[in-house]
């Protein structure tokens, strides 16, 4: 599996519209050029003042031909977008006047473009924090029907082929929710299962991990995972899962037989759910560094429409790859 090539090929075939809100950010401007040249999107929109974006493009030697530029403050959609934002946020005390000011913020404007179908996907975070990107997406795009939680996953690739799908697995949540509730953990498992289908092209087999297997330890953190498993059972989500289960019992069939005999995930796990962000974030980095494994992500999941957050240290190529992956998820 060549994850990046696969996602780029998929994005190219889908011909979707991308918005990059950080239009005056140099790496973003360069990435926009590549995305258009490689035809990974049918249209790419940068948000910001034309003169400022042109200045950045000139400094970087980037030709802006074929790239759309939208300046929210003067745009013909301002009243429409502001009214929709007001409708979405009035239960939180938003006024029409405030909505007109707030919606001009590029992250909110980009989210609104996606919400209203003027763009199919948004990628941001080269100069904004994860929290800012997430909050704009949550306020405007919201979560997929049936789920209340947005979270994230990594695609781990290049592991020993005995693990997951020829050495590729989904790890979740490694970047968003510091201490998920049982309900959130169940949502994370559902979203990760969907990510497994979209990214690995495989039916998900999901392990909800803990430091306990089937009641071997007692602690609030264990109870939380057990409750999440019960919630999932109640929802009958249409994929194979088990928990609470330790990592070795989830992965190694001989250990499964000892600690969780009869587990439906025995020898087949391709999606690992961590009990909290501490475990997830540390876990993926350990596997990445000690196992010399590729970690792609974090990719946001659970949103009603595809958006992605970038690391502020992202390279131009990271932005292009993330955009391709995000576009590949458009329904």
Please report, as ranges, the residues that interact with ligand ACO according to CB under 6 A. Answer: 92, 130-131, 134-135, 138-139, 143, 149-150, 175-177, 281, 298
Quote the least distance from Cβ 138 to ligand ACO, whole Å: 4
Beta carbon of residue 289, minimum distance to ligand ACO (angstroms, whole number)? 13
Q: How far is the CB of 330 from ligand ACO (least distance, A)?
A: 21
Cα–Cα distance list, 218 to 210, 214, 226, 318 (Å): 11, 10, 11, 42
C-beta separation of 299 from 276 below 8 A: no
* Number of neighbours of residue 37 by Cβ within 10 angstroms: 10
Query: Quick one: 93 or 262, whose CB is closer to ligand ACO?
Result: 93
State the SS3 of the chain. CCHHHHHHHHHHHHCCEEEECCCCCHHHHHHHHHHHHCCCCCEEEEECCHHHHHHHHHHHCCCCCCCEEECHHHCCCHHHHHHHHHHHHHHHCCCHHHHHHHCCCHHHHHHHHHHCCCCCEEEECCCCCHHHHHHHHHHHCCECCCCCCCEEEEEEECCCCCCCECCEEEEECCCCCCCCCHHHHHHHHHHHHHHHHHHHCCCCEEEEECCCCCCCCCCHHHHHHHHHHHHHHHHCCCCEEEEEECHHHHHCHHHHHHHCCCCCCCCCCCEEECCCHHHHHHHHHHHHHHCCCEEEEEEEECECCCEEECCCCCCHHHHHHHHHHHHHCCC
The distance of closest approach from Cβ of residue 63 to ligand ACO in the complex, given in angstroms and rounded to an integer, is: 32
Q: Which is nearer to ligand ACO, 10 or 303 (CB)?
A: 303
Q: Which is nearer to ligand ACO, 246 or 326 (CB)?
A: 326
Task: Select 16 or 329, whichever has its Cβ closest to ligand ACO.
Answer: 329
CB of 150 or CB of 170, closer to ligand ACO: 150
Closest CA to 208 of 264, 154, 250, 153: 250
Closer of 224 and 259 to ligand ACO (Cβ):
224
Comparing CB distances to ligand ACO, the nearer of 89 and 266 is: 89
Q: What's the closest the beta carbon of residue 98 comes to ligand ACO, in angstroms? A: 14
Report the residue number whose CB is nearest to ligand ACO: 131
Least distance CB 222 / ligand ACO (angstroms): 22
Beta carbon nearer to ligand ACO, 267 or 278: 278
Q: How far is the CB of 91 from ligand ACO (least distance, A)?
A: 8
Q: Which is nearer to ligand ACO, 212 or 322 (CB)?
A: 322
Least Å from the CB of residue 211 to ligand ACO = 22
Output the smallest distance, CB 193 to ligand ACO, in A.
Answer: 17
Non-local (6+) Cβ contacts of 149 within 8 A are: 143, 177, 180, 183, 184, 187, 188, 191, 302
């Amino acid at each position: 599996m060549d994850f990046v090539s696969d996602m780029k090929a998929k994005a190219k075939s889908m011909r979707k519209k991308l918005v990059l809100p950080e239009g005056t950010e140099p790496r973003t401007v360069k990435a926009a050029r590549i995305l258009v040249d490689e035809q990974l999107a049918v249209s790419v929109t940068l948000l910001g003042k034309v003169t400022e974006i042109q200045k950045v493009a000139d400094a970087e030697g980037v030709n802006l031909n074929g790239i759309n530029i939208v300046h929210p403050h003067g745009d013909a959609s301002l009243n429409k977008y502001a009214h929709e934002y007001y409708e979405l946020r009035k239960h939180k005390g938003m006024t029409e006047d405030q909505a007109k000011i707030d919606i001009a913020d590029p992250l909110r404007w980009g989210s609104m473009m996606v919400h209203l179908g003027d763009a199919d996907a948004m990628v941001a975070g080269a100069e904004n924090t994860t929290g800012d990107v997430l909050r704009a997406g949550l306020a405007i795009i919201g979560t997929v029907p049936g789920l209340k939680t947005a979270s994230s996953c990594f695609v781990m690739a290049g592991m020993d082929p005995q693990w997951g799908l020829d050495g590729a697995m989904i790890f979740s949540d490694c970047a968003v929710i510091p201490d998920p509730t049982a309900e959130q953990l169940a949502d994370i498992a559902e979203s990760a299962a969907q990510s497994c289908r979209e990214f690995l092209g495989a039916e998900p087999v999901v392990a909800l991990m803990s430091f306990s297997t089937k009641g071997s330890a007692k602690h609030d953190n264990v109870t939380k995972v057990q409750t999440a498993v019960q919630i999932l059972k109640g929802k009958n989500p249409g994929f194979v899962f088990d928990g609470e289960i330790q990592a070795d019992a989830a992965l190694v069939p001989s250990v499964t037989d000892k600690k969780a005999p009869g587990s439906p995930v025995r020898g087949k796990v391709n999606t690992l759910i961590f009990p909290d962000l501490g475990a997830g974030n540390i876990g993926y980095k350990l596997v990445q560094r000690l196992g010399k494994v590729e970690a792609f992500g974090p990719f946001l999941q659970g949103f009603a429409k595809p958006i992605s957050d970038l690391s502020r240290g992202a390279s131009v190529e990271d932005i292009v790859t993330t955009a391709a992956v995000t576009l590949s998820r458009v329904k």
